[in-house]
Amino acid sequence: EPEVTQTPSHQVTQMGQEVILRCVPISNHLYFYWYRQILGQKVEFLVSFYNNEISEKSEIFDDQFSVERPDGSNFTLKIRSTKLEDSAMYFCASTGGGYQPQHFGDGTRLSIL
């Protein structure tokens, strides 16, 4: 069964540094997403991406964040000037569109020190 893959599985970074989280969505999917989950809290939507542009973003997704699809397979989330409160699990998801459910990668655990 095709799956969403994410790298790295765990990223440890000093506060103030930039991180790039990587995702390879399911190959025939057209819509891509990033979510985060702070430990003990609910999964929160960050951003959706379609046709090489952001289609929706939440209030969490401010100027500190950016997304990119640099080639035909990867989808990245960049976080600049990381803060302690950016520590969380970051999940990538994709879907073929319409009312199809989204499928999630196994996440990147980001730890900001």
Partner 1 sequence: RKEVEQDPGPFNVPEGATVAFNCTYSNSASQSFFWYRQDCRKEPKLLMSVYSSGNEDGRFTAQLNRASQYISLLIRDSKLSDSATYLCVVNIRGGADGLTFGKGTHLIIQP
Residues making contact with partner 1 (CB under 8 A): 30-31, 33, 35, 41-48, 50, 55-56, 58, 89, 91, 95, 97-99, 101-107, 109
> What's the rounded Cα separation, in Å, for the pair 105 and 64?
23
**Token output for 60:** 């969490």
Query: What's the min distance (Å) between Cβ of 21 and partner 1?
Result: 14
For residue 30, CA distances in Å to 1, 10, 27, 62, 85 come to 17, 26, 8, 24, 31
Minimum CB distance to partner 1 smaller for 22 or for 109: 109
Query: What's the min distance (Å) between Cβ of 6 and partner 1?
Result: 9
